[in-house]
């Protein structure tokens, strides 16, 4: 399963910049495409917790699922309009880790 995670503080900054701009149209506010497994591994690693026992599972291919396989989005326009480069998972966590 793939998503486009983005630090919530960056989301707020991006939405504010876009709402104050003259741009009219659709802008995807997202980060780079990342599997849920890789996201979890990076986040847990950044928190200093062992990922030794973390096991990934493939989504079933032949069965309907209530989860979409890929909800990542193209975000180049977001960067062009705001100048904000998405932080990685590790960077986002370490930025706010006490």
DSSP three-state, residue 29: coil
pLDDT at 61: 79
Please state, in angstroms and rounded to a whole number, the distance separating the CA atoms of residues 33 and 31. Answer: 7
- Burial class, 86, CB count within 10 angstroms (exposed 0-12 / middle 13-18 / buried 19+): buried
End-to-end CA distance of the chain: 30
Give me the mean pLDDT over the 44-53 stretch: 93
Q: How confident is the model at residue 58 (pLDDT cuts 50, 70, 90)?
A: confident
Average pLDDT value over all residues in the chain: 93
pLDDT at 95: 86
Using an 8 Å Cβ cutoff, are 35 and 1 in contact? yes
């Amino acid at each position: 399963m793939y998503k486009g995670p983005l630090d919530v503080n960056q989301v707020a900054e991006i939405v504010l910049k876009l709402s104050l701009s003259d741009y009219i149209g659709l802008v995807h506010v997202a980060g780079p495409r990342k599997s849920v497994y890789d996201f979890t591994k990076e986040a847990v690693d950044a928190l200093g917790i062992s990922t030794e026992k973390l096991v990934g599972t493939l989504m079933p291919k032949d069965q309907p699922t209530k989860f979409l396989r890929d909800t990542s989005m193209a975000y180049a326009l977001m960067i062009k309009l705001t100048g904000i480069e998405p932080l990685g998972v590790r960077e986002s966590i370490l930025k706010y880790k006490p």
